[in-house]
Amino acid sequence: MTDRNATVAVIGAGDFIGAEIAKKFAAEGFTIFAGRRNGDKLAPLVKEIEAKGGSIHARSLDARKEEEITAFLNDADAHAPLEVCIFNVGANVNFPILDTTERVFRKVWEMACYSGFLAGREAARLMLPRGQGNIFFTGATASLRGGSGFAAFASAKFGLRAVAQSMARELGPKNIHVAHLVIDSGVDTEWVRQRRLESLGPDALDNPDLLMPPASVAESYWQLYSQPRSAWTFEMEIRPFGEKW
């Protein structure tokens, strides 16, 4: 492991995609600042990364709170220069339109779009004076098309994609790589498996080529980070080869 004098902030460091991102960048020598609601749930991730010689700081974080995002990223940057900020907050819900309450719509927007804006802006504030950095956003199929029952989630993900695109156009010429990763697939998590089991039955879980392993998402983020600036990708779509599209 090569130690790097740099930090990677993972906002939305859940048990699957966020954890794998943290493990991948920690294995590459970065210090990780991992934030999620109920930060005590990060204990297993901290134990695993530290057991392999990595460095990680775990925080409880409500990404919808401006002051919490600012403090979290400032702490990361004070430890070592913030090299990468990855926004990975979810908020995937499905409701018929008449059952989509004002509260649901607003909270999903706050989680999946507004908090992404806060994270991106505050990361840019720290990176611009150094003239370098990477800001990555996790998108979904819903970032590109709205599905039945996904008015709240799709509108928030559409908005996050627009934030990322605007930031990429503004910050790219200033040597800050902004990218949006579209995961056009169900990710192999317990929540997704349970939903498929309930809606499609046991046969839906028999084909492993229809679910995206979280570690594959982490590898895609590493590929984005590793790109030379002469060939930066703004938007990358990933899906298992068995997925229809």
pLDDT digits (tens, 9 = 90+) for 161-186: 999 999 999 999 999 999 999 999 88
**pLDDT, position 208:** 63
**pLDDT, position 13:** 97
Q: Quote the mean pLDDT of the chain.
A: 94
**pLDDT, position 245:** 84
pLDDT in tens, 194-221: 777 777 676 666 666 778 889 999 999 9
d(CA 39, CA 58): 7
pLDDT in tens, 29-43: 999 999 999 999 999
Q: Counting beta carbons within 10 angstroms of the beta carbon of residue 177, is it exposed (0 to 12), middle (13 to 18) or buried (19 or more)?
A: buried
Question: Is there a contact between 33 and 9 (Cβ–Cβ < 8 Å)?
Answer: yes
Q: Which of 76, 68, 66 is nearest to 34 (CA)?
A: 76
d(CA 40, CA 37): 9
Residue 21 has pLDDT above 90, yes or no: yes
Other Cβ atoms within 10 Å of 244 Cβ, number: 6
Confidence bin at 232 (pLDDT 50/70/90): very high
Q: What is the value of pTM for the model shown?
A: 0.95
- Report the percent of the chain where pLDDT is more than 70: 96
Eight-state DSSP code of residue 146: P
**pLDDT, position 177:** 98
Residues near 165 by beta carbon (within 8 Å), at least 6 away in sequence: 180, 234, 235
**pLDDT, position 205:** 64
Eight-state DSSP code of residue 97: G
CA distances from residue 205 to 15, 72, 183, 209 in whole angstroms, order as listed: 20, 38, 19, 10
**pLDDT, position 163:** 98
